Amino acid sequence: MNVELQVNGTDHVVDVEPRKTLLDALREDCALTGTHAGCEHGVCGACTVLVDDAPIRSCLLFAVQADGYQITTIEGVAPGPGELSILQDAFCETHGMQCGFCTPGMVLTGHALLKRNPNPSRAEIVDAISGNICRCTGYGQIIEAIELAAERLRGRNLSDSISAEPTMVHADIVAPEDEPERGIIKAAGYDLPHEGKP
């Protein structure tokens, strides 16, 4: 069956068996492998995507059911190549992951939470991510990441309209030698580890 999926603002027309989940269609037919299969029965949350800005389990939805929605996967979060959203940057700042397998689901869930609730309490964060299982981190640094992102989002300069997508933070360019202990290094610095200098 043909179905048109709108994913991260792009239309994908895929031809799939009805039994193919949205998860598998995203990974195989749209070549978006950032969404992960952890259990395929709706418990672990590794397959989380946003459907019309709401986190859902893509393993519990068939691709043929998913037309007409705005689907956002982890690949749709970063503002551009080599860049990070404020929330993604916060996850890097607090080390809110280890193996990274649950991370796309956590990031999307965090994005959805902060969009609805820009000032969540710790308890609200805990509740929001309680449908995403992490086996590596014990959740502490994930909660810290979302708290940090909330703080930064509240403090950022807004353009005249509050867009749905949190904008990227342009971190100051810090010469690494000056403040080696400072966490935020220019985001693009990793691509050119030396900024052209040995």
Partner 1 sequence: MKAAPFEYVRPSSLLEACSILADDEDALPIAGGQTLVPMLAMRLARPTILVDILRLPELTGIGRANGFLILGATTRQVEAERSALVASDLPLLAKALPWVGHQPTRNRGTVGGSVANADPSAEIPLVAATLGARIVIQSREEEKVLPADDFFLGAMSTALEPGFCVKELRFPVWPKGRLGVGFHEISARKSDFAYASAAVQLAADDDDKCLNIVLGLGGLSDRPVRISLDSIIGKDLRATSLPAIVAEAVGDACDGFDLRSDIHASASYRRRLAISLAQRAMRDAIDGALQGGGEAQ
Partner 2 sequence: MTAQGNFRYVSTTRRVREDRRFVVGRGTYVADVPAREMLHVALVPSPHPAAKIIAIDSAEALALPGVHYVLTGEELSGAVDPLMNGLDTPHVRRFPLAVGQTRYAGEWVAAVVAETRAVAEDAVELVQVEYDPLPHVINPERAYEPQSPPVHPGHGSNVLLDRTFVWGEVDRHFAENPRHLKFRVTWGRNSTVPIETFGVLAKWDPWREILDVWASIQMPKYSDQIARSLRIPLNCVRVHQDVDVGGSYGVKRGIKHTVLVSHLARRLGRPVRLIEDRLENMRAGDAHGPERIFDVEVAFTDAGIVHSMKMRALDNAGAYAGRAPFQLGKPIGAIVGPYQIKSVQYQAISVTTNKAPEEAVRGFGQSPTNYAIETMMDKVAAECGLDRIEMRRRNFIRKEQFPYLIPSGTRYDSGDYHTVLDKVLAHANYGELLEERDRLRKSGLLAGIGIAACLEPSGGNSAFEPLLNEKNTTTTWMESCRINVDGLGFITATMHTTSSGQGHETLVATVVGEVLEIDPDRIRVVRPDTLASLPSNSPVGSRMAIMLGGAAFHAAQIIKSKVIDLACRYFGREGDGVTYSAGAVSDNATGKRLELAELVNIAHRHHHSLPEGTRPGLNSEYVMQVPGGGKLAENSRIQMYPAYSFECHLILLSLDPILGKPEIRRYIIGHDCGTIINPHIVKGMTLGGIAHGIGASLLEEFVYDEEGQFLTGSFMDYLLPSSHEVPHVEMVHHCTPSPLTVLGQKGSGECGYLGAPAAVSGAINDAVRPLGIWFDKLPIRASRISDAVAESAPGHSQ
> Is residue 64 a contact residue for partner 1 (CB under 8 A)?
yes
> Is residue 180 a contact residue for partner 2 (CB under 8 A)?
yes
Going edge to edge, which strands form the sheet with 10-15? 10-15, 2-7, 70-72, 48-51, 54-57
Burial zone of 143 (CB within 10 Å; 0-12 exposed, 13-18 middle, 19+ buried):
buried
> Which of the residues 68 through 107 are near partner 2 (CB under 8 A)?
73-75, 77-78, 84, 88, 91-104, 107
Tell me which amino acid residue 51 is. V
Taking contact as CB under 8 A, which single stretch among the options 50-58, 113-121, 165-173, 181-189 is the one that binds partner 2? 181-189
> Which of the residues 113 through 132 are near partner 1 (CB under 8 A)?
127-128, 130-131
Q: Which structure tokens are listed for 82?
A: 């080599």
62 binds, among partner 2, partner 1, none (CB under 5 to 8 A by kind): partner 1
Angle between helices 86-94 and 103-116 (to 10 degrees): 120
> In the 8-state DSSP scheme, what is residue 86?
H
CA atoms within 13 Å, Cβ hemisphere of 38: 22
Q: Which is nearer to partner 1, 39 or 173 (CB)?
A: 39
Q: Which residues bind partner 2 (CB under 8 A)?
A: 17, 19-20, 27, 32-41, 43-44, 46, 73-75, 77-78, 84, 88, 91-104, 107, 122, 126-127, 129-143, 176-177, 180-181, 183-185, 189-190, 193-194, 198
